[in-house]
Chains A and B, each alone.
Chain A
Amino acid sequence: MVEYPAAHLIGIECKSGAAPTDRVNADAVTLQHFVAKHPGAVAAFSFGAKPSALSQKLLELKGIAILLGSPKEQAGTLWKIASAAEKAKTEP
């Protein structure tokens, strides 16, 4: 769980491999419950290997960000997502 910017929670489910779609879907639902309990929180799914197209589509439909690549690349992606979301909130 990451807090960025301060007090803005980002729940990240990590999969070191691609993970089967049913597992991804089940964990995405649990993650959605977590986000629902925390107003303003966002969700992301991190994969160590490229997930199936169906898994990606399911996550897109649920509004969950997908992080791919090396840990550094994923951190960069998440930073951009969080910064863009923050900018959108503060702009009139």
Chain B
Amino acid sequence: MQTAMKRSLFCALSILSVLNALPQRAPGREPEPPPVAVSSLPAGSEIAELARLKLLSELTPRLQRYSPVERRAIYLAIAVERRLLPSTEAIDLLQTLGSIEGFDRAARQLCGYGSPARDGALFELRLARAFVEKKMRVSAIRISWSNTPPRT
């Protein structure tokens, strides 16, 4: 079952194509893979099954074996499956904000079933998207102000 799930998700993700642009990266973080042009999200019975898990504490361990890029796409696919946002918007968010620091946290919080953090994460992602459209550079999403080190 798990092998079939992984295979099908990899098939869905294999259509991602790599762009030449350099990734945005905060100092001290692990290098991120280059931004990807995403044309679809993972779909199918596996995503439907994951979308039925209500607690993040149940969902998160199931996704540990995937890479950060794959996890982002899966989290968004789950949010789409739950009708939290349309798939076109999810793909657009992944394309435009996927490489920004904190996106992974926001994508994960989107899958918190009925959690206030879920609405906050979606609102913040939509706001960040609007800033990008206005040509303003978003350097981080969903960060804690108290832990932000001074930048030079």
Contact = CB atoms under 8 A, between A and B. Distances in A.
A13 B143 CA distance: 9
Nearest to B146: A30
A31 B145 contact: yes
Contacts of B119: 16-17, 48
Interface stretch (B7-15, B60-68, B76-84, B121-129): B121-129
Given A14-B120, A34-B148, A38-B151, A75 B137 contact: no
A3 B127 contact: no
B131 A14 contact: no
Contact of B133 (A1, A9, A75): A75
A84 to B, nearest CB: 14
Contact of A71 (B129, B138, B140, B146): B129
Interface size class for chain B? 20 to 34
A14 B150 contact: no
A33 interface: yes
A16 B122 contact: yes
A13 B136 contact: no
B95 interface: no
Interface size class for chain A? 20 to 34
Contacts of B139: 1-3, 9
A34 to B, nearest CB: 4
B124 to A, nearest CB: 5
Given A14-B120, A37-B150, A4 B145 contact: no
A11 to B, nearest CB: 6
Given A38-B151, A46-B127, A6 B137 contact: yes
B145 A78 contact: no
A82 B146 CA distance: 23
B137 A71 contact: no
6 contacts: A1-B141, A15-B123, A16-B119, A33-B146, A71-B127, A78-B136
